[in-house]
Amino acid sequence: MKFNEYQYECSKLAIYPNRLNNFVYPTLGLVGESGEVAEKIKKVIRDKGGKLDNETIIELKKELGDVMWYLAALCDELNLSMEDVAITNIKKLNSRKERNVLKGEGDNR
C-alpha cells in the first residue's frame, strides 16, 4: 500500500470533533500513541532485559499502526499528503548525508 492510498483509507475512518478544521486532536492522538510505543519499549527494558519477543513485536506493530493513523489524520488537517511528507523527509536526509551533517543538532543543518 502506498502512503496516499493509506491516507485516503484512513480519512474514511476519521471521526472526531471538527474534522478537517482541528489539527489539535490528531496531534494529541499522535503524541499519545507514540507514548504507548515508548511505554512498551520501556517495559521491554524493565521486564525483559532489553530483549524483544514476538508477542511484544506484534503489540508494537499495532501501536505503530495507530501512530500512522494519527499521522495520516494530521496530514489531512494540514492539507499535506503523506507521500509528499515522506519525499520531503528523504530529500532532507539525503542532503544532510551529502553535506556530512546527519549527526549533529538543529533542524536546519
Does residue 49 belong to any structural domain of this protein? Answer: yes
In this prediction, residue 108 carries a pLDDT of 82
State how far the Cα of 105 lies from the Cα of 88, in Å rounded to an integer.
19
Does residue 97 belong to any structural domain of this protein? Answer: no
Give the single-character DSSP code of 65.
H
Does residue 72 belong to any structural domain of this protein? Answer: yes
> Helix, strand or coil for residue 89?
helix
In this prediction, residue 35 carries a pLDDT of 98
Mean of pLDDT over the chain: 96
Does residue 61 belong to any structural domain of this protein? Answer: yes
In this prediction the pTM is 0.91
In this prediction, residue 107 carries a pLDDT of 82
In this prediction, residue 69 carries a pLDDT of 98
Does residue 88 belong to any structural domain of this protein? Answer: no
Total count of domains within the chain? 1
Taking residues 88-97, report their average pLDDT.
Answer: 95
Q: Pull the grid cell for residue 51.
A: 530483549
CATH number at residue 27: 1.10.287.1080
Does residue 94 belong to any structural domain of this protein? Answer: no
State how far the Cα of 45 lies from the Cα of 87, in Å rounded to an integer.
33
pLDDT digits (tens, 9 = 90+) for 53-74: 999 999 999 999 999 999 999 9
Does residue 21 belong to any structural domain of this protein? Answer: yes
Overall residue count recorded for the chain in this entry: 109
Of 65 and 104, the structure prediction assigns the larger pLDDT to: 65
Does residue 87 belong to any structural domain of this protein? Answer: no
What residue numbers bound the domain in which 48 lies?
3-82
